Amino acid sequence: MAGSAAMGISITYNSQGLTATSFNVSDTVDNADGSHLGQNPGDRRQYVPTFVQREISCDYIANSIITSQTGAISITGPGSLSFTGNATLTSSSLGGSVGDLIKGSITWRVA
């Protein structure tokens, strides 16, 4: 299995291009309690997978904080790396220090 360098990744959110320094995509499956009143005493609870929640987090270099609550997101990169969808901003921060670049961090929940 060949690896792929993270160079050449393009992230666009709400028509704003980001100079990404890193990104991470994580999926979690939520489970709903499907237990019901017709179960026999001592029966185990029944859990049913409901949906996958996908979160994308990204560190970037910029000169402004991203505040658009919702918008379209697009990630493209080397090989077959490609994702487009609608995203909701869940957190965003921006910071800097003397002699360093202004760096931001952002997390979206995507549909």
Structural domain contains residue 105: yes
Structural domain contains residue 68: yes
Structural domain contains residue 91: yes
User: Residue 10: which domain range?
Assistant: 1-30+55-111
More confident residue, 30 or 83: 83
Structural domain contains residue 87: yes
Instruction: Name the pTM for this structure.
Output: 0.71
Structural domain contains residue 39: no
Contact 62, 20 (CB under 8 A): no
> In terms of C-beta density within 10 A (0-12 exposed, 13-18 middle, 19 or more buried), how is residue 94 classed?
middle
- pLDDT tens-digit readout, 41-91: 888 888 887 777 889 999 988 877 888 899 999 988 887 888 899 999 999
* Domains of the chain: total: 1
Structural domain contains residue 45: no
- In this prediction, residue 5 carries a pLDDT of 55
How is residue 41 annotated by DSSP? Answer: T
- In this prediction, residue 89 carries a pLDDT of 94
The token duo for 89 is: 């901003």
Rg of the chain taking only CA atoms, in angstroms = 19
Report CA-CA distances (Å) from 71 to 6, 32, 84: 24, 28, 11
Task: Please state the rounded mean pLDDT for residues 4-17.
Answer: 79
Residue 19 has pLDDT above 90, yes or no: no
Task: Please state the rounded mean pLDDT for residues 21-50.
Answer: 85
Average confidence score pLDDT of the chain: 85
